[in-house]
């Protein structure tokens, strides 16, 4: 069982009186109880979500939340930072050791903030950047017109091959030669396969571009040795500490010594103010967990579960993108079962299976995107993946008895309580 299998109260001795909130603000206490029940009642299959350990939640609920700590350890703009410094030093040391990086910045508030800081360190407004197009799996920060990235930089999109669904390296190289970008971004919110970082490095070197790897999704698998490490190839790796890595909601940047100073200044003071020190402490806890043999085993089980689930869904008629997965993440077009992505998400939600819709690179239909990080944390394995695949198919049938499917999904989830009983 993963580190979450305990019935310890989420705050432990480090946080506030667990009943204080209920006494003072029953309205919000009810909301939090409802959310806890929701998380336990169904199958949490959103690819970007996971269950953090009680230790991570304890750090998040700790009194470091009260502390202002602008700057970096040993050079703060506030007094009283000795414990904040210790927390951040541990987080940085652990991140560097975990990923084999010279330097880590653990202050980025989110994955998007980490990408913003990487651009701020490497680019000027108006520069050209090559990144995966949003319809093909790029993130908002990879050039969406609704995001700062699309407003401040000239993004050139690359895509995936229509037949295979795989990154089209010939197209990436041709676009790089034609547009001479200052940076190339690889990373995606929905690409289920390993990215060939050596190939991207080679293309970036040919045109003199920096390589930014936005590894928000796979970084947890990297920590457990279940996916290739982008650190040796990238100028900067951006990531989140939630998702498969199973830490607190937050961002992370990894780079070599030569960019360390620029990355740190790009986070603070350029794009952020005071760091969230409770989150930084929780990141340190998560990096500590991720360095254990149990986490290594977890990440390999996450991938094995996703592979099996993808295979079973393909056999049930789902058009699984790229025919399977190398990671925790699966995208599929449910059209062969007679439903589009939005209808599928709604029917699955009614049955207690929580997934996302996603863009499909070709055509104007929507697909569904989901992953195995959370259910694997709960302790589910092959038998449960078989059952989940069948629940998908049952829930999507037009004449589905969603009450019966819902009851089965709830019973399955109930056998694997994420925080014990």
CB of 367 to ligand PLP, least distance (A): 16
Q: What are the φ and ψ backbone dihedral angles of 251, each rounded to 5 degrees?
A: -115, 170
Please tell me whether residue 240 binds ligand PLP under the rule CB under 6 A: yes
Please tell me whether residue 188 binds ligand PLP under the rule CB under 6 A: yes
Q: Is residue 209 within 8 Å of residue 186, measured between CB atoms?
A: no
- Contact range with ligand PLP by CB under 6 A, out of 33-41, 121-129, 211-219, 411-419: 211-219
CB of 384 to ligand PLP, least distance (A): 25
**SS3 label, residue 23:** helix
Is 103 labelled a binding residue?
no
First to last CA, the chain: 14
DSSP 83-95: HHHHHHHHHHHHH
**Of residues 214 and 289, the one with the C-beta less far from ligand PLP:** 214
**Of residues 4 and 113, the one with the C-beta less far from ligand PLP:** 113
Please tell me whether residue 217 binds ligand PLP under the rule CB under 6 A: yes
Please tell me whether residue 48 binds ligand PLP under the rule CB under 6 A: yes
Phi-psi region of 345 (alpha: psi -120 to 50; beta: other; left: phi over 0): alpha
Please tell me whether residue 189 binds ligand PLP under the rule CB under 6 A: yes
Please tell me whether residue 213 binds ligand PLP under the rule CB under 6 A: no
The residues carrying an active-site annotation are: 68, 70, 214, 240, 243, 249
CB of 114 to ligand PLP, least distance (A): 8
Looking at the chain, how many residues does it have?
421
CB of 141 to ligand PLP, least distance (A): 6
Phi-psi region of 263 (alpha: psi -120 to 50; beta: other; left: phi over 0): alpha
**Of residues 245 and 396, the one with the C-beta less far from ligand PLP:** 245
DSSP 144-212: -TTSHHHHHSEEEEE-B-TTT-SB-HHHHHHHHHHH--SEEEE--SS--S---HHHHHHHHHHHT-EEE
* Alpha carbons 369 and 165: distance in angstroms, whole number: 14
**Of residues 241 and 305, the one with the C-beta less far from ligand PLP:** 241
* Alpha carbons 4 and 279: distance in angstroms, whole number: 18
**SS3 label, residue 380:** coil
- Angle made by CA atoms 132, 219, 92, in degrees to the nearest 5: 120
Please tell me whether residue 112 binds ligand PLP under the rule CB under 6 A: yes
**Of residues 187 and 288, the one with the C-beta less far from ligand PLP:** 187
Is 134 labelled a binding residue?
yes
- Contact range with ligand PLP by CB under 6 A, out of 55-63, 107-115, 167-175, 253-261: 107-115
Q: Is residue 253 within 8 Å of residue 108, measured between CB atoms?
A: yes
**Of residues 62 and 240, the one with the C-beta less far from ligand PLP:** 240
Name the residue with the smallest CB distance to ligand PLP.
111
- Tokens of residue 9, six digits: 């109260």
Reference 253, options 138, 108, 121, 124; nearest CA is 108
**SS3 label, residue 104:** strand
Binding residue (CB under 6 A) for ligand PLP from 2, 15, 42, 111: 111
Binding residue (CB under 6 A) for ligand PLP from 141, 276, 301, 327: 141
Binding residue (CB under 6 A) for ligand PLP from 8, 110, 171, 402: 110
- Tokens of residue 341, six digits: 């992505």
Binding residue (CB under 6 A) for ligand PLP from 61, 187, 230, 288: 187
Q: What are the φ and ψ backbone dihedral angles of 133, each rounded to 5 degrees?
A: -60, 150
Binding characters for ligand PLP, 258-297, by CB under 6 A (x = yes): ----------------------------------------
Number of residues that bind ligand PLP (CB under 6 A): 14
Strand partners, 160: 167
Is 138 labelled a binding residue?
yes
CB of 249 to ligand PLP, least distance (A): 6
> Which residues lie closer than 8 Å to 380 by C-beta, 6 or more apart?
305, 372, 388, 416
Please tell me whether residue 144 binds ligand PLP under the rule CB under 6 A: no
- Contact range with ligand PLP by CB under 6 A, out of 110-118, 317-325, 381-389, 396-404: 110-118
Strand partners, 74: none
* Alpha carbons 308 and 306: distance in angstroms, whole number: 5
Binding residues for (6S)-5,6,7,8-tetrahydrofolate: 134, 138-140, 258
Binding residues vs ligand PLP (CB under 6 A): 48, 110-112, 115, 139, 141, 187-189, 214, 216-217, 240
Binding residues: 134, 138-140, 258
């Amino acid at each position: 069982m993963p580190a979450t299998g305990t019935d310890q109260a989420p705050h432990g001795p480090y946080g506030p009186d667990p009943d204080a909130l209920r006494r003072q603000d029953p309205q919000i206490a009810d909301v939090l109880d409802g959310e806890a029940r929701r998380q336990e009642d169904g199958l949490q299959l959103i690819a970007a979500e996971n269950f953090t350990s009680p230790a991570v939640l304890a750090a998040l609920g700790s009194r470091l939340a009260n502390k202002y700590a602008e700057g970096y350890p040993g050079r703060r703009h506030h007094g009283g930072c000795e414990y904040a410094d210790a927390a951040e030093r541990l987080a940085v040391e652990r991140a560097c050791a975990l990923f084999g990086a010279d330097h880590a910045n653990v202050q980025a508030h989110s994955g998007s903030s980490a990408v913003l800081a990487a651009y701020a360190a490497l680019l000027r407004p108006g520069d050209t950047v090559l990144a995966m197009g949003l319809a093909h799996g790029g993130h908002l920060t990879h050039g969406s017109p609704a995001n700062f990235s699309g407003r401040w930089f000239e993004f050139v999109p690359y895509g995936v091959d229509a037949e295979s669904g795989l990154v089209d390296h010939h197209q990436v190289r041709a676009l790089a030669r034609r547009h001479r970008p200052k940076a190339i971004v690889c990373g995606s919110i929905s690409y289920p396969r390993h990215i060939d970082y050596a190939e991207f490095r080679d293309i970036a070197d040919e045109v003199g571009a920096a390589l930014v790897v936005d590894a928000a999704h796979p970084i947890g698998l990297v920590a457990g040795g279940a996916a290739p490490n982008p650190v040796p190839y990238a100028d900067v790796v951006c990531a989140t500490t939630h998702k498969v890595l199973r830490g607190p909601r937050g961002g992370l940047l990894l780079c070599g010594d030569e960019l360390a100073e620029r990355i740190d200044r790009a986070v603070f003071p350029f794009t952020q103010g005071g760091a969230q020190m409770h989150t930084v402490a929780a990141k340190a806890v998560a990096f500590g967990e991720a360095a254990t043999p149990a986490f290594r085993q977890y990440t390999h089980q996450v991938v094995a579960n996703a592979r099996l689930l993808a295979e079973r869904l393909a056999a049930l008629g789902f058009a699984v993108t790229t025919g399977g997965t190398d990671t925790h993440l699966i995208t599929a077009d449910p059209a062969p079962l007679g439903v589009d992505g939005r209808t599928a998400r709604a029917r699955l939600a009614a049955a207690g299976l929580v997934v996302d819709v996603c863009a499909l690179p070709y055509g104007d239909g929507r697909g569904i995107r989901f992953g195995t990080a959370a259910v694997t944390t709960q302790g589910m394995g092959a038998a449960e993946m078989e059952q989940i695949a069948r629940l998908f198919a049952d829930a999507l049938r037009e004449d589905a008895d969603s009450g019966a499917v819902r009851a089965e999904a709830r019973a399955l989830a109930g056998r694997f309580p994420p925080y014990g009983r």
